[in-house]
Amino acid sequence: MNEPTDWIDIGPAEDFKRTPLREAQLGERLVAISFKDGKFGVISNVCNHVGGPLGKGALEGEFVVCPWHQYRFHRCTGEGEPGYEADKVPGYGVREENGRLLVTAKPVSKRGHLPHEPHPLTRPTEPRAPGALRVGGISTTVMDRKYPRFSTSEHLLSVALEHAQGALGAETKMIRLNDLNFRNCEGFYSKAAKACTWPCSLTSMDKNDQLDQVYEMAVHWADILLIATPIRWGAASSMYYKMVERMNCIQNQITLNNKVLIRNKVAAFIITGGQDGIQAVAGQMMMFFSEIGFLLPQFPFIGHSLGWEFEEMDRNVELVEGSEALRKGARELVMRSAEMASVCQGGREMTHASIERGGRKASA
């Protein structure tokens, strides 16, 4: 490429030597300027991923690391890290002259994007098609995977799913969060609103992150979502909160893009604990899932607790395992949810196996 002829004086060179990486104004745009081993580098300030400000990131070796999602670009050429060189941001010419730092008015290299298949979760939700109701269950209890114990909340969730399958002819699936490997939310939204993406940036970047199974069930597959949790010190389980913090990306699509990912879907809840606190736990769960788009049936949760004065957990397990009243409550919860789903689907009958359900039509 020919040597550019238009240079812009952006200030005293010594000012830019004081910090390894910073933003600077170049005409009407921002650039990321780095200084290392006596050499300046200037690249576009806009990350290829979702536009993060590279000049506010970090310098690791010869690479600028985006502060939003840690994408890396060579500080001088703008090329991506080894193996991803073609995924690059524009680089600029830079020189020091008479104590001033001059940068080319236009980049000397172009932006480049590696071809990426869109993530499967980004597909649009399709219109409903006839078929069996889909009921998904999520168990949020935490236990030793090798030596699992009896879970009262998961037990009642299993009862509800079995009833949905047997009495309603529904398709059912259960996700045990305890079996999934997924990372904690890293608060991208707190860095910048646009940094929180759909699907979650962690899911997009980490192929080993398994929360995509929850996203798939909640956004695309289920018509009814049943969430079960034990009570832990007056709150839902730590696994539950780990999940819903990551589901914040669903709500943020509404906030940022007026894009509602969940429509005409029903959520209901199963809550068990050795001490009281059912209503407080239910309140948070109802608020969160209604905020991301779910509808709630009348009486949207069932709960069980021995109360504050009773700590006989062995007795509590026996009580739940042998209680027909609680099993009846679980079956009635899924029936109420199915009635609500029927309203969402246009009032279709839900009393026999040939019901129509929320499937997804294939794209034409």
Same domain, 86 and 145: no
DSSP per residue over 235-287, as a string? B--HHHHHHHHHTHHHHHHHHHH------S-EEEEEEEESSS-HHHHHHHHHH
Look at residue 298 and tell me if it is in a domain: yes
Look at residue 11 and tell me if it is in a domain: yes
Q: Is 175 in contact with 210 (CB distance < 8 Å)? A: no
Same domain, 90 and 217: no
Rounded to whole angstroms, how far apart are CA atoms 183 and 362? 32
Rounded to whole angstroms, how far apart are CA atoms 270 and 293? 19
Q: Is 64 in contact with 57 (CB distance < 8 Å)? A: yes
Q: Which of 49, 75, 104 represents a domain boundary (last residue)?
A: 104
Beta strands, E only, the chain: 7-12, 21-26, 29-36, 39-44, 58-60, 63-65, 72-74, 91-92, 94-97, 100-104, 134-139, 171-176, 224-230, 266-273, 301-305
Same domain, 230 and 320: yes
Largest Cα span, the chain: 87
pLDDT digits (tens), the chain, 364 positions:
455 569 999 999 999 999 999 999 999 999 999 999 999 999 999 999 989 999 999 999 999 999 999 999 999 999 999 988 899 999 999 999 999 999 999 999 999 988 888 889 999 887 777 889 999 999 999 988 888 888 999 999 999 999 999 999 999 999 999 999 999 999 888 888 889 999 999 998 888 999 999 999 999 999 999 999 999 888 999 999 999 999 999 999 888 888 899 999 999 999 998 667 899 999 999 999 999 999 999 999 999 887 655 556 667 778 888 899 999 999 999 999 999 998 887 754 444 333 332 332 333 3
Look at residue 147 and tell me if it is in a domain: yes
Residue 102: predicted pLDDT: 96
Q: Which domain holds residue 207?
A: 120-344
Q: Which of 48, 79, 104 represents a domain boundary (last residue)?
A: 104
Nearest to 304 by CA among 316, 293, 312: 316
Residue 274: predicted pLDDT: 65
Q: Kindly report the CA angle at 155 between 152 and 159, in degrees rounded to 5?
A: 140
Residue 314: predicted pLDDT: 62
Rounded to whole angstroms, how far apart are CA atoms 285 and 235? 10
Same domain, 130 and 90: no
Q: What is the DSSP letter of 210?
A: -
Same domain, 281 and 159: yes
Contacts (Cβ under 8 Å, ≥6 apart) of 120 = 212, 216
Integer CA distances (angstroms), 257 to 50, 128, 193, 214, 247, in order:
14, 23, 11, 22, 16
Nearest to 334 by CA among 186, 197, 219, 168: 168
Residue 233: CA count within 13 A, CB half-sphere: 1
Q: Which of 57, 77, 104 represents a domain boundary (last residue)?
A: 104
**Tally of domains in the chain:** 2
Looking at this protein, which amino acid is placed at residue 72? R
Look at residue 355 and tell me if it is in a domain: no
Same domain, 306 and 187: yes
Same domain, 99 and 144: no
Rounded to whole angstroms, how far apart are CA atoms 60 and 73? 10
Same domain, 154 and 95: no
Look at residue 59 and tell me if it is in a domain: yes
Same domain, 203 and 330: yes
Look at residue 361 and tell me if it is in a domain: no
Rounded to whole angstroms, how far apart are CA atoms 51 and 327? 51
CATH number at residue 275: 3.40.50.360
Give the phi and the psi of residue 142 in degrees, each rounded to 5: -115, 130
Contacts (Cβ under 8 Å, ≥6 apart) of 133 = 164, 168, 169, 170, 171, 223, 224, 338, 341, 350, 355, 357, 358
Same domain, 248 and 138: yes
CATH number at residue 16: 2.102.10.10
Q: How many residues does the chain have?
A: 364
Look at residue 88 and tell me if it is in a domain: yes
Same domain, 94 and 168: no
For residue 215 the two structure tokens come to 């996203």
Same domain, 266 and 164: yes
Look at residue 113 and tell me if it is in a domain: no
Q: What is the CA radius of gyration of the chain?
A: 27
